[in-house]
Chain A
């Protein structure tokens, strides 16, 4: 049979003529490896590109070095205020996501048998657009929602897409992160957060916040300087976390009772007239009512609840008074009152009020209300915002105190279960595994008519979706400038470091622009990401190319000035010791003691989550570099105190059963002195149930399996630590 055209066909372009392959250049693999090794040592064609790390929301700026198209070393940018010249382990490890073998490479659609199949982008866009218009016709745009963990481009494009469709339901991951904290503080001082001037402080207290576990390099450096300057640094935490290396005191506390501690310290300040009376008088409203309400919260009363000795509370309050105003309670993030307990919002309010008693707002070493840089108004009509959707964010009525910028994503889950929400988009969010009880969320989200997930790899949430849109890794895309606040506001830029590795993946700005065009709202996306970025930068006197060269630029002229009298944009324009909104929402006008929802019956332990320095919630578990550390040092193991372990006959590294009504699982446990009795700590990163995350799958316990689905009254958070567990040795 003669040769014919078909069998001579070839994928390699330029070989149609076949015989033309130059007979010259063939080297065997061995020879190539030899040459490749020498060339690599000799620093072949190297480029240095500035980008922002995507391993957590700090978005540290660093310089990536690329040799012949392959990523090599990463060096933190000194001029970036978050990195200050360093990166943490996650930064180095997560950069390898670009080459991960578990990456999504094509758009996927779930077929009738419930299995995913690769489809083309056009088919995906068409079918999604059809479903979206169908839902809008039937139930209006309010039946659509978006949940995302904000990143530079994502927070603009995804939200704009949802607003363009006419839906007000744009949520962030806040309900499982810091929603209660931000909302509670806003009720008290009208701002969602502050920056504690730790390095200049004479005393700073950290409640459930460990700079050395939830790492932002600049904060670790500040903590170290404060420690060396002899500042009094108090870690209030059920766990002796890694920040105790730079702490003068560890105050172990019963989980969920931080509110009692803060109220008791406030009580001591007020009773002994140790607080800044004129500052309170000048800036506060309703102080007397609060003073009266917490008159019973004596240190002795607090000792029963928190387990912290009364004289320690007395002493801490006195030390605060003596150190004021160069002292403050650090705002914390997720650990203690970000979203953990039924009293988290109120705790945040109390902490803000306590700082007010110290009169430390905007004082050196105190709590600084810093402003953030922002892009000016863009007059180019293409960038005009889509009309504001009518109707409010789902959940505003049920959870009036929840900060509108975040919304209660867990309530959105409940609405999906109830059929109010028909279509949901997820970007850079693994809600099904991390926000609340995965079993409940899986059931709720599978009730949706349309579920679209945009991510880099398959996640628990993507497994539930109808359509999965593969995004490029953060190293293969450029994003909008990141305007940030702090002592010196700045703007930082993520430029594209690597060529797109998987040709069929797109960056999020492309995806949401093309989705908008498919859904007929393309007119709000008539620009490229570069054009928008350049326009934004021009409003602050910069441009894209100059920022690309430098990576981060600071605005010294907008720097924070000590002593500036803070403006309280609360309804009363004062620090609200009593909040009318809280009263209307069914809470006490002024923050008083609220019992956490779950009280462990005998033999059960209070469950706390927490961060390991090498992991970011469930996002980095599939990175071999990082997971290998967790495996080698058993960082997935639950912690139990030496006293409790002895009572249960458990030794270090024993295989134990950890169970409650929600879930039961087995794991080796770590018996340690570094945790308060009556408490079990499970790190919040493991127990991945996604088979194609080959490195992460099935390793360790997932803490959220043990937490029932419930929502914090008025604030709308997921109450991620309102759970108790029992532990017993396997076979015991």
Chain B
């Protein structure tokens, strides 16, 4: 049983939105349905200023607030540590959207149901060619892999870079940021 997670190195993120549009093509999403949102921070003042782009998407928390608040059980823990949303059960009450501290769940403007990053790139583990956020990133910011396997690429990278979840231990998030 793997426990999938992701590492995002914001030092290499140039804010080009390729991951968002690639994800929309890979998962056939609506134009206004984005599973990745972006924060931009200016550090310093003119002329010594540095820009940091921070992509945020579902952290697939092991103690997911969305799963705990979802009344219909639509949000649930799937296999290999991937948090899923069962589109057949969601009534669109948006409780999970409110409960998610990272604000990365979006409401489908057609069906009214809620959806989020599905870690679809797990399919690439067995070699299927995909244009998910990990493959599409122009500067290779993202590493996806099994956190339980110490010598997986992601585990080694986390140790090497000291990556940590974006908001500390707010939840047991499984996206580790290098900042």
Contact = CB atoms under 8 A, between A and B. Distances in A.
| A and B form one complex | yes
A613 B17 contact: yes
Contacts of A73: 25-26, 130-131
Given A220-B138, A221-B138, A676-B46, A626 B21 contact: yes
Interface stretch (B28-36, B62-70, B157-165): B28-36
Contacts of A29: none
B50 A643 contact: no
B46 A677 contact: yes
Nearest to B130: A73
Interface stretch (A1-9, A86-94, A157-165, A396-404): A86-94
Contacts of A624: 31-32
Given A74-B131, A75-B131, A87-B136, A212 B16 contact: yes
Contact of B21 (A89, A221, A641, A672): A89
B136 to A, nearest CB: 7
A245 B16 CA distance: 12
Given A73-B131, A244-B50, A672-B42, A89 B25 contact: no
A632 B137 CA distance: 21
A92 B24 contact: yes
Interface residues of A, number: 48
A87 B18 contact: yes
Contact of A628 (B18, B25, B34, B130): B34
Contact of B11 (A88, A96, A245): A245
B126 to A, nearest CB: 13
Contacts of A673: 42, 44-46, 49
B51 A244 contact: yes
Interface in B7-57: 11-18, 20-22, 24-26, 28, 31-32, 34, 38, 40, 42, 44-47, 49-51, 53
Contact of A625 (B13, B24, B137, B139): B24
Chain A, interface SS category: helix
B14 to A, nearest CB: 4
Interface in A239-263: 240, 242-246, 250, 252
A231 interface: no
Contacts of A641: 46
Given A72-B25, A625-B24, A676-B47, A220 B32 contact: no
A245 B20 contact: no
A144 interface: no
Nearest to B13: A245
Nearest to B15: A242
A676 B47 CA distance: 8
A518 to B, nearest CB: 39
Interface in A3-56: 40
B146 to A, nearest CB: 23
Contacts of B31: 96, 624-625, 627-628
A196 B15 CA distance: 24
- Residue of A89, A250, A252 with highest tally of chain B CB at under 10 A: A89
- Residue of B11, B50, B131 with highest tally of chain A CB at under 10 A: B131
A242 B136 CA distance: 18
Contacts of A252: 46-47
- Residue of A75, A224, A677 with highest tally of chain B CB at under 10 A: A75
A674 interface: yes
B115 interface: no
- Residue of B11, B32, B44 with highest tally of chain A CB at under 10 A: B32
B10 to A, nearest CB: 9
B49 A240 contact: yes
Nearest to B49: A673
B117 to A, nearest CB: 16
A88 B49 contact: no
Contact of A245 (B12, B25, B42, B46): B12
Interface in A377-411: none
A89 B51 contact: no
Nearest to B132: A73
A153 B137 CA distance: 30
Contacts of A205: none
Given A73-B25, A212-B15, 13 more contacts: A87-B18, A92-B21, A92-B24, A92-B25, A212-B14, A220-B138, A220-B139, A245-B14, A250-B49, A614-B17, A628-B32, A632-B34, A641-B46
7 contacts: A40-B28, A74-B22, A87-B18, A92-B21, A245-B12, A613-B16, A613-B18
Interface of B: 11-18, 20-22, 24-26, 28, 31-32, 34, 38, 40, 42, 44-47, 49-51, 53, 129-131, 135-140
Shortest 5 CB-CB contacts between residues of A and residues of B: A624-B31, A92-B21, A212-B14, A613-B16, A89-B17
